[in-house]
Amino acid sequence: MPVFPLGAHADAGGVRFAVASTSADAVEVCLVDGPDGELTERRVALTERTFGVWHGYLPGVAPGQRYGYRVHGPYRPWDGVRANPAKILVDPYARRITGRVTDLRAARGWAADPMTGPPSPVDSLGHVPLSVVTGPDVPAPGPRPDVPWSDTVIAELHVRGYTRQHPEVPPEQRGTYLGLAHPAVIEHLTRLGVTAVELLPVAAIADEPPLLDRGRSNYWGYATLGFLAPHAGYASVPGAEIEEFRTMVAALHAAGIEVILDMVPNHTAEGGVGGTTLSYRGLDARAYYCIGGNGYDADITGTGNTLDSGSPTVVRLVCDALRHWVTAFGVDGFRIDLASVLGRPRSGGFDPNAPLLTAIAVDPVLSQAKLIAEPWDATGEGYRVGGFGVAWSEWNGRYRDAVRDFWRGHGGIGEVASRLTGSSDVYKMSGRRPWASINFVTAHDGFTLRDLVSYERKHNEANGEGNRDGTDDNRSQNFGVEGETSSPVIVSRRLAAARAMLGTLLLSTGTPMLLGGDELWRTQGGNNNAYCLDDPTSWVEWPADGPAASLTAFTARVAEIRRSSPALHRDRFYRDGEVLWWHPAGRRMGGHDWHDAGLRSLGLLRAKWLLLLHAGPDAVPATLPPGGPFTPVLDSTRADGVPVSCRSLPAGTTITLPPRSLLLLCGA
Neighbours of 331 (CB within 10 A): 25
Distance, CA of 262 to CA of 198 (rounded, Å): 7
Q: At what angle do helices 547-564 and 183-191 cross, to 10 degrees?
A: 60
Q: Which of 218, 186, 190 is nearest to 205 (CA)?
A: 218
Residues with Cβ within 8 Å of 555's Cβ and at least 6 positions away in sequence, in order, are 192, 193, 502, 506, 514, 519
Q: How far is CA 34 from the centre of its chain?
A: 37
Active site residue 374: yes
Annotated catalytic residue, options 374, 394, 445, 451: 374
Annotated catalytic residue, options 156, 337, 394, 445: 337
H helix runs in 330-408, sequence order: 355-362, 397-407
β-bridge partners, 92: none
Helix (H), strand (E), coil (C) string for 409-454 = CCCCHHHHHHHHECCHHHHCCCCCCHHHEEECCCCCCCCCHHHHCC
Active site residue 28: no
Distance, CA of 159 to CA of 175 (rounded, Å): 6
Contacts 24+ apart (CB under 8 A), 167-175: 167/542, 172/236, 173/236, 175/234, 175/539
Sort 405 into a burial class: Cβ within 10 Å, 0-12 / 13-18 / 19+: middle
Q: At what angle do helices 280-288 and 312-329 cross, to 10 degrees?
A: 120
Distance, CA of 344 to CA of 309 (rounded, Å): 7
For the chain, the C-alpha Rg in angstroms (whole number) is 26
CB of 244 closer than 8 Å to CB of 176: yes
Q: Cis check for the bond before 5: say yes or no (omega within 30 of 0).
A: yes
Pairing of strands 437-439, 393-395: parallel
Q: Which residues are catalytic?
A: 337, 374
